[in-house]
Structure 1
Amino acid sequence: MTTINDIARLANVSRSTVSRHLNKNGYVSQEAQERIDKVIEETGYFPSQSAKSLRTKKTGVVGVILPKISTETASRVVDGINQVLQENDYQMLLTQTLLEKEKEIAFIRLLQSRNVDGIILLGTNTDEALVEEIKKSDVPVVVLGQDMPGTTSIHYPDYKATAEMISYMIEKGYRDISFIGVPEDDPAVGIVRKKAYIDTLKEHNLPVLTERITYGDFSIDSGYHAMETIMKQSKKPDAVFVVTDNMAVGAMQYLKENHYNIPADIGMATTGVSRLSKYIEPVLTTIDFQNEKAGIAITRLLMRQLNGYKKTKKLTHTYRRLTGNSL
């Protein structure tokens, strides 16, 4: 196995010169840099991460805690996270809670035991115990997706975006609007978006009917079954708002299988931009929370903390409404 001493000998420089060049922490002439780089390329040398960790007290690894790796939101966020980590010579260690909120604390502890330099949490809850765990963590922890007090976090404008979409549906002439949500274990998606739906109906003097509110579990299948529940009521609604695109795809499939025309028979709107939505007709009217950009933004906040900026920072991410032909 090639060592740093071999690189120094082959490049005809000192070991300390190779070290300065690899760690970018001192002057090395352009000629020496080129000789070192040429030898490294020829030998396929890769610096020992463990040795580097001993010198810098850093592992060059960031832990990422996801609810589910397979979701559209998570994959887009991870794309953004990975972009910034690569720019800063960090690697990623992924874990998933499978929506079991107690695992968020367990994984924060586990990742610390693996000596990661920092942690990015795609949060699904705001429990006091979780907040305390983040505050006492030995490494910086930043949170995406939940408005979590006392932490460095970025949350989505769930209330504003949902209220805007419901208002848009009402402007389009819909009055009897059903709602497919998720359990309240996830405050942002399960509580805030539902509240925005209810408040907006009331602001427009429209009735809020409990039978018009059903739930899924973020999956396509659950959207299908929630839509089935709604459409088996004695009177079908004018339209349905679904809190995630993934469930909206399932809801749309149920309507198509049962010969309902969208939007002639029933309109549909949602939040989130699924890759599936490019291939379905009609195109969903949706809210794009720009998840890749959110992943970039939260990772930059972590990089600030890793570089010594310890003051907590809270941001609200941006969104845009995409108008399809499902309304």
Structure 2
Amino acid sequence: MTTINDIAKLANVSRSTVSRHLNKNGYVSQDAQVRIDKVIKETGYLPSQSAQSLRTKKTGVIGVILPKISTETASRVVEGINQVLQENNYQMLLTQTLLNKEKEIEFIPLLQARHVDGIILLATNTDDALVNEIKKAKVPVVVLGQDMPETTSIQYPDYDATKNMVNYMIEQGYRRISFIGVPEDDPAVGITRKKAYLDTLKEHQLPVKKEWIAYGDFSIPSGYEAMKTIMGAKQKPDAVFVVTDNMAVGAMQYLKENNLQLPQDMGIATTGVSRLSKYIEPILATIDFQNEQAGMAITKLLMEQLVKTDKTKKITHTYRRLPGNSL
């Protein structure tokens, strides 16, 4: 196995010169740099990661905490994260909580024990215990998806985007708009999107009925069951807003199985831009939260925090409405 001493001998320089060049620490003449790089290329030498970590106290690894890696939102965010990490010569260590709030808290010290340089958290809650764990962390922690005090974070525009879509539904002539949400454990999706739905209907003096509101757990089957519950109401709605794309697919399946034509008999809109939506008819009217870009943006914020951690920053991400033909 080629060692740093071998590289120095073959390049006709001192061991310390090779070390300075590899660590980008100190002066090395242009001629020496060329010779060292040539030898490294010819020998296929790879610097010891552990030795570099001891010298720099950096591992080149970023921890990422996800709710569920199987969701399309998470996978798209990870694509964006990975792109920026690769550009900055970092590797990724993934963990998933399976929507367990306690795991979000537990994974922060766990990842620090693995000596990550920083942590990206796709949070599902804003509990004080989680906020405190972030504040105690010895490495920078940035949050995507929730607004937490004293943290560097990017929030999705859940309220504005939901109002935008519900207003669009009203513009299309719908007046009895039902709602499929998720539990309030997730403040952004469970509370904020529901509030925007309720506020918009109130502004337009449209009816809100308890029997037109049901809940799922982010999955396709739960959307199916929630739609079934809503359609059991004595007075039927003429449209449904669903807070996630997966549940919207389930809701759509229930409506089709019960011979309702979309959008003639029932309009449906959602958020998320699922890849699955390209292959179903009608194409879902949806909100695109541009998750790859969000993943890139939160990772760039972390890169900033790795250099300077004395100031928090909060950003609201962008969105766009995609009309589809389900309304």
Q: Deviations over 1:233-274 (max 9, x none)?
A: 333311110001111111112222222211011001001111
Q: How many angstroms apart in 2 are the aligned matches of 1:260 and 1:42?
A: 68
Number of the residue aligned with 1:106: 106
* Mapped pair 1:245 → 2:245: yes
CA–CA separation in structure 1 for the residues paired with 2:46 and 2:233: 64
Matched, 1:56 2:68: no
Contact 2:140–2:309 (CA under 8 A) maintained in structure 1: no
1:294 aligns with 2:291: no
In structure 2, what is the equivalent of residue 34 of structure 1? Answer: 34
Write the distance in 2 (CA, Å) between the matches of 1:10 and 1:252.
68
Q: Which residue of 1 aligns with 2:96?
A: 96
1:38 partner letter: K
User: Does the alignment pair 1:65 with 2:99?
Assistant: no
The residue number in structure 1 matching 2:165 is 165
- The separation in 2 between residues aligned to 1:31 and 1:282, in whole angstroms, is 64
Alpha-carbon distance in structure 2 between the residues aligned to 1:40 and 1:225: 61
% identity of equivalent residues: 81
1:182 paired to 2:188:
no
* Residue aligning to 2:5: 5
Measure the CA separation in 1 of the matches of 2:277 and 2:260.
18
Deviates most, 89-98 or 309-318: 309-318
Partners of 1:69 and 1:19 in 2: CA distance: 39
Shift, 1:117, TM fit: 0.8
Determine the C-alpha separation between the residues in 2 that align with 1:23 and 1:43. 19
Residues 1:78 and 2:78 aligned together: yes
Structure 2 equivalent of residue 265 of structure 1: 265
Q: TM-score, normalised by structure 1?
A: 0.96
CA shift, 1:191, in A, is: 0.5
1:137 CA drift (Å) = 0.9
Counterpart in the other structure of 1:151: 151
Partner amino acid for 2:193? R
1:204 corresponds in structure 2 to 204
TM-superposed CA distance for 1:41, in Å, is 2.8
Match of 2:117 in 1: 117
1:71-112 Cα distance to aligned partner (Å, 9 max, x none)? 111111111111111111111111000000011110001011
C-alpha deviation, 1:15, in angstroms: 1.9
Alpha-carbon distance, 1:164 to partner? 1.1
Number of equivalenced pairs: 327
Q: So what's the TM-score if we normalise by structure 2?
A: 0.96
> 1:131-154 CA deviation, whole Å, 9 max, x = no partner?
111111111111000011111111
Root mean square deviation of aligned Cα = 1.4
Tell me if the contact between 2:66 and 2:96 (Cα under 8 Å) persists in the aligned partners: yes
1:281 Cα shift? 1.4
Separation of aligned partners in 2, 1:62 and 1:4: 27
Distance 1:72 1:33 in 2: 45
Q: Which amino acid aligns with 2:84?
A: V
**CA shift for structure 1 position 21:** 2.4
Aligned residue identity for 1:123: A
Mapped partners of 1:31, 1:48: distance in 2 = 24
After TM superposition, give the deviation of residue 35 of structure 1 in Å.
3.2
Q: Measure how far apart 1:221 and its partner are.
A: 1.5
**Displacement of 1:205:** 0.4
1:283 alignment counterpart: 283
Change (3 A) 1:41 1:221: farther
Classify the secondary structure of the residue corresponding to 1:83. helix
Counterpart secondary structure, 1:183: coil
Alpha-carbon distance in structure 2 between the residues aligned to 1:230 and 1:3: 69
Change (3 A) 1:257 1:29: farther
**Counterpart contact for 2:177–2:238, Cα < 8 Å:** yes
Shift in alpha-carbon separation, 1:50–1:237, aligned structure 2, 3 A: same
Output the CA distance in 1 between the equivalents of 2:268 and 2:27: 62
SS of match in other structure, 1:240: strand
Give the superposition deviation at 1:5: 1.6
